[in-house]
A and B are shown apart, each in its own frame.
Chain A
Amino acid sequence: MGVEVAVRGLTKSFGGHPVWSDLTLTLPAGEISVLLGPSGTGKSVFLKTLVGLLRPDRGSVVIEGRDLPKLSERELYEVRKLFGVLFQDGALFGSMTIYDNVAFPLREHTRRSESEIRAVVTEKLEMVGLVGAEHKLPGEISGGMRKRAGLARALVLDPQIILFDEPDSGLDPVRTAYLNQLIVDLNQRTGATFLIVTHDINTARTVPDNIGLIYHGHLAMFGPREMLLSSTEPVVRQFLNAQRIGPIGMAEEKDAEELAAEAQAGVELPPLPPIPLQLPPSDGRPRRAERPPGQWCRENGVTPPPGSFEGRWAPEPSEVVR
Chain B
Amino acid sequence: MSAPVSAVRHTGEFFAFCLDTLRGLGRRPVQVREFVQQAWFISSVSILPAALVSIPFGAVIALQLGSLVRQLGAQSFTGAASVLAVVREAGPIVTALIIAGAGGSAICADLGARKIREELDAMQVLGIDPIHRLVVPRVLASMLVAVLLNGLVSVVGVTGGYAFNVVLQGGTPGAYLASFQALGQLPDLLVGEVKALLFGAAAALVASHQGMTAKGGPKGVGDAVNRSVVITFMLLFALNFVVTAVYFQVVPQKGS
Cβ of B117 within 8 Å of any chain A Cβ, yes or no, is yes
Q: Bound state CA distance, A67 and B30, in angstroms?
A: 31
Asked if residues B117 and A51 are in contact (CB atoms below 8 Å), the reply is: no
Q: Bound state CA distance, A105 and B128, in angstroms?
A: 9
| Contact among B1, B113, B118, B127 with A77 in the assembled complex (CB-CB below 8 Å) | B127
Cβ of A8 within 8 Å of any chain B Cβ, yes or no, is no
Asked if residues B1 and A87 are in contact (CB atoms below 8 Å), the reply is: no
Q: Bound state CA distance, A92 and B113, in angstroms?
A: 12
- Per-position binary interface string of chain B over residues 107-127, scored 1 when its CB falls under 8 Å from any chain A CB and 0 otherwise: 000000110011101111111
Q: Which residues of chain A in 91-118 are interfacial with respect to chain B, using CB atoms and an 8 Å cutoff?
A: 91-94, 104-105, 108-109
**B contact residues around A105 at 8 Å (CB):** 126-127
| Contact among B1, B122, B124, B129 with A15 in the assembled complex (CB-CB below 8 Å) | B1
Considering the complex, give the chain B residue whose CB is closest to the CB of A77.
B127
Asked if residues A53 and B127 are in contact (CB atoms below 8 Å), the reply is: no
Asked if residues B119 and A53 are in contact (CB atoms below 8 Å), the reply is: no
Q: Bound state CA distance, A83 and B122, in angstroms?
A: 11
B251 vs chain A, min Cβ distance (A) = 41
Q: Bound state CA distance, A78 and B124, in angstroms?
A: 11
A142 vs chain B, min Cβ distance (A) = 16
Q: Bound state CA distance, A88 and B113, in angstroms?
A: 15
Q: Bound state CA distance, A53 and B122, in angstroms?
A: 10
Asked if residues A91 and B129 are in contact (CB atoms below 8 Å), the reply is: no
B193 vs chain A, min Cβ distance (A) = 32
Asked if residues A53 and B124 are in contact (CB atoms below 8 Å), the reply is: yes
**A contact residues around B121 at 8 Å (CB):** 48, 53, 85, 87, 91
Q: Bound state CA distance, A157 and B125, in angstroms?
A: 11
Q: Given the known inter-chain contacts A15-B1, A94-B113, please indicate yes or no for A108 contacting B122, CB distance below 8 A.
A: no
**B contact residues around A84 at 8 Å (CB):** 125
The bracket for how many chain A residues form the interface is 20 to 34
| Contact among A15, A78, A108 with B128 in the assembled complex (CB-CB below 8 Å) | A108
Asked if residues A94 and B114 are in contact (CB atoms below 8 Å), the reply is: yes
**B contact residues around A94 at 8 Å (CB):** 113-114, 117, 119
Q: Given the known inter-chain contacts A15-B1, A94-B113, please indicate yes or no for A88 contacting B127, CB distance below 8 A.
A: no
A75 vs chain B, min Cβ distance (A) = 12
Interface centre among A84, A85, A109 (most CB of B within 10 A): A85
Q: Bound state CA distance, A15 and B215, in angstroms?
A: 14
Considering the complex, give the chain B residue whose CB is closest to the CB of A78.
B127
Asked if residues A87 and B118 are in contact (CB atoms below 8 Å), the reply is: yes
Dominant SS among interface residues on chain A: mixed
**B contact residues around A91 at 8 Å (CB):** 117-119, 121-122
Asked if residues A87 and B129 are in contact (CB atoms below 8 Å), the reply is: no
Asked if residues A108 and B127 are in contact (CB atoms below 8 Å), the reply is: yes
A65 vs chain B, min Cβ distance (A) = 20
**A contact residues around B118 at 8 Å (CB):** 87-89, 91
Asked if residues A104 and B126 are in contact (CB atoms below 8 Å), the reply is: yes
Q: Bound state CA distance, A153 and B126, in angstroms?
A: 9
Considering the complex, give the chain B residue whose CB is closest to the CB of A150.
B122
Cβ of A287 within 8 Å of any chain B Cβ, yes or no, is no
Cβ of A80 within 8 Å of any chain B Cβ, yes or no, is yes
| Contact among B113, B119, B125, B128 with A85 in the assembled complex (CB-CB below 8 Å) | B125
**A contact residues around B113 at 8 Å (CB):** 94
| Contact among A15, A89, A93, A109 with B127 in the assembled complex (CB-CB below 8 Å) | A109
**A contact residues around B122 at 8 Å (CB):** 85, 87, 91-93, 150, 153
Asked if residues A108 and B126 are in contact (CB atoms below 8 Å), the reply is: yes
Q: Bound state CA distance, A53 and B130, in angstroms?
A: 12
Q: Given the known inter-chain contacts A53-B124, A80-B124, please indicate yes or no for A89 contacting B117, CB distance below 8 A.
A: yes
Q: Bound state CA distance, A89 and B116, in angstroms?
A: 10
Considering the complex, give the chain B residue whose CB is closest to the CB of A53.
B121
**B contact residues around A92 at 8 Å (CB):** 119, 122
Q: Which residues of chain A in 118-165 are interfacial with respect to chain B, using CB atoms and an 8 Å cutoff?
A: 150, 153, 157
Asked if residues A80 and B117 are in contact (CB atoms below 8 Å), the reply is: no
Q: Bound state CA distance, A92 and B121, in angstroms?
A: 11
**B contact residues around A93 at 8 Å (CB):** 114, 119, 122-123
Asked if residues B1 and A83 are in contact (CB atoms below 8 Å), the reply is: no
Considering the complex, give the chain A residue whose CB is closest to the CB of B133.
A108
Q: Bound state CA distance, A91 and B124, in angstroms?
A: 12
**A contact residues around B123 at 8 Å (CB):** 93
Interface centre among A15, A53, A83 (most CB of B within 10 A): A53
Chain A contact residues, CB within 8 Å of chain B: 15-16, 48, 51, 53, 73, 77-78, 80-81, 83-85, 87-89, 91-94, 104-105, 108-109, 150, 153, 157
* Extra A-B contacts (17), CB below 8 Å, given A77-B129, A109-B126: A16-B1, A73-B129, A80-B127, A84-B125, A85-B121, A87-B122, A89-B118, A91-B117, A91-B118, A93-B114, A93-B122, A94-B113, A94-B114, A94-B117, A108-B126, A109-B127, A153-B126
Chain B contact residues, CB within 8 Å of chain A: 1, 113-114, 117-119, 121-129
Q: Which 5 A-B pairs have the closest CB atoms?
A: A91-B122, A91-B118, A87-B118, A85-B125, A105-B126
